[in-house]
Amino acid sequence: MNTAPFACLDALEALSLRLDDELDGARARALDAHLVLCVECRAHARTLAEIGQGWAALRAVAPPPELGARLAHRAPRRRPTPVLLRVAAALIGFLGLGALVRALVAPPAAGDGHLFERLAVRGQPDEFFAAIPEYQLLRRSGAEDER
């Protein structure tokens, strides 16, 4: 059991714990012994008790009745993108990144130009997409499915 005399700082902590019913017996006795001797800590304890009586009034508040309706009014404008759309966007981004990485990493085949040359193919849109290897794979598998 710790019965060492309290310093004022210990007393302030102990007073705080006592307010919350968290002060054990030994520390409670040490605090009481300190309060008998220390006028400043007694004043502190008295003011703390007075302040404590004011909290109940601050608990008794309620939001204005129309706040829920105002929230509902604000909500639809800020609704997030539907999950399906987010998945589709992520998939497109992933495929595009894959194509880019592959084009950068793959060694140029005979007759193959640099990435920028391949991307800069002029002419029909189909020719532009044909420069992307994934597109060729997709077309090939589609043709096999048709057969």
Partner 1 sequence: MDPDRDLVGELDRGAPGGLAEAYRRHGARVYRVCLRLLGRAPDAEDATQEVFLKLIEGASPFAGRARFSTWLYRVSVNHCLHRLEKERLRAAAGLGEELELADPGASPFDELARGEARSGLEDLLARLTGEHRAVLVLREIEELSYRDIAAVLELPVGTVMSRLARARGELVRLAHAREPGHPRTTPAVSTGPAAS
- Footprint of partner 1 (CB under 8 A): 5-9, 11-13, 15-17, 19-20, 22, 34, 36-44, 47-48, 50-52, 54-55, 57-59, 61-64, 67-68, 70-72, 74-75, 78-80, 82-83
- Least Å distance between CB 37 and partner 1? 4
Nearer to partner 1, 84 or 104 (CB): 84
Cβ-proximal residues to 110 (8 Å cutoff; 6+ apart), any chain: none
- Least Å distance between CB 97 and partner 1? 23
E strands along 5-117, which residues?
Answer: none
Nearer to partner 1, 75 or 143 (CB): 75
- Least Å distance between CB 8 and partner 1? 4
The set of long-range contacts for 105-113, using a CB threshold of 8 Å and a minimum separation of 24, is 106/133
Distance CA 46, CA 40 (A): 10
Question: 111 in the Ramachandran plot: left (φ > 0), alpha (ψ -120 to 50) or beta?
Answer: left
Q: What six digits make up the tokens of 27?
A: 């520390």
CB atoms within 10 A of CB 95: 14
Nearer to partner 1, 56 or 104 (CB): 56
Nearer to partner 1, 84 or 110 (CB): 84
- Least Å distance between CB 51 and partner 1? 6
- Least Å distance between CB 73 and partner 1? 10
Our measurement of the distance from residue 13's CA atom to the centroid of its chain's CA atoms, rounded to an integer in Å, reads: 33
Nearer to partner 1, 55 or 116 (CB): 55
